[in-house]
Amino acid sequence: MDDLVKLVDSNTFENVNFKKIAHWYDGSLMDDSKLDSFIYRKKGNTYYVDTEFIANNSFNIKKIGLKADGQTDDTLPLQKAIDIAIKLKVKLKLPSGVIKIINQISIDISQTNNLKGYEIEGDGIGVTIIKSENNNECNTAIYFKGINEFQFVKMKGFSIVRPDTGISSGGTGLKFEKAVYVELEDIDVFRFSNGIEFNDVALGMLTRINARWCKTALKGSMQPGGFTPPNLINFVGCGFHSNSVSGVHLENCHNVKFDSCGFEGNSGNPLDIIFNAANGAVGLNAINNYFEGNKGEADIKITNLKEGVHNITGNTFNRLSKDHHTYYNILVAAEAQGNQVLNMTGNGFFSANDFIPEAGKPAWHIPWNSESFEITDFNYYSNEVLRPNLNLKNIIKLKKEYNTGTLNINADGTYSNGTNGLTSMRYNQGIYLITLPHNVNTIQSLQITARQGDANITTLPSFGYGILNNNTVQILCRDQNGATDSGFLLNIEYK
Last residue of a domain, one of 228, 255, 271: 228
Whether 51 and 197 map to the same domain: the answer is: no
Question: 320 and 346 in contact (C-beta within 8 Å)?
Answer: no
Whether 31 and 122 map to the same domain: the answer is: no
Question: 422 and 405 in contact (C-beta within 8 Å)?
Answer: yes
Find the domain containing 482 and state its range: 403-494
CA 243 to chain centre: 16
Whether 48 and 87 map to the same domain: the answer is: no
* Number of domains observed in the structure of the chain: 3
318 domain-assigned: no
- Using 50, 70 and 90 to split pLDDT, how confident is the model at 12? low
Question: 278 and 255 in contact (C-beta within 8 Å)?
Answer: no
pLDDT(468) > 50: no
Residues linked to residue 101 through DSSP beta bridges, in sequence order: 132
Whether 38 and 104 map to the same domain: the answer is: no
Whether 110 and 174 map to the same domain: the answer is: yes
What gap in Å lies between CA 232 and CA 206, rounded to an integer? 11
Whether 48 and 162 map to the same domain: the answer is: no
Strands 97-101 and 128-132, by their bridges, are parallel
CA 278 to chain centre: 21
pLDDT(484) > 90: no
Backbone angles phi, psi at 491, to 5 degrees: -100, 130
Per-residue model confidence as pLDDT tens digits over 223-277: 888 889 999 999 999 999 999 999 999 999 999 999 999 999 999 999 999 999 9
Whether 160 and 190 map to the same domain: the answer is: yes
Report helix, strand or coil for 296: coil
303 domain-assigned: no
- Using 50, 70 and 90 to split pLDDT, how confident is the model at 439? very low
Name the least confident of 129-138, 356-365, 405-414, 469-478.
469-478
pTM: 0.79
Whether 149 and 105 map to the same domain: the answer is: yes
Per-residue model confidence as pLDDT tens digits over 271-328: 999 999 988 999 999 999 999 999 999 999 999 999 999 999 999 999 999 988 999 9
Whether 218 and 92 map to the same domain: the answer is: yes
Whether 38 and 177 map to the same domain: the answer is: no
Report helix, strand or coil for 133: coil
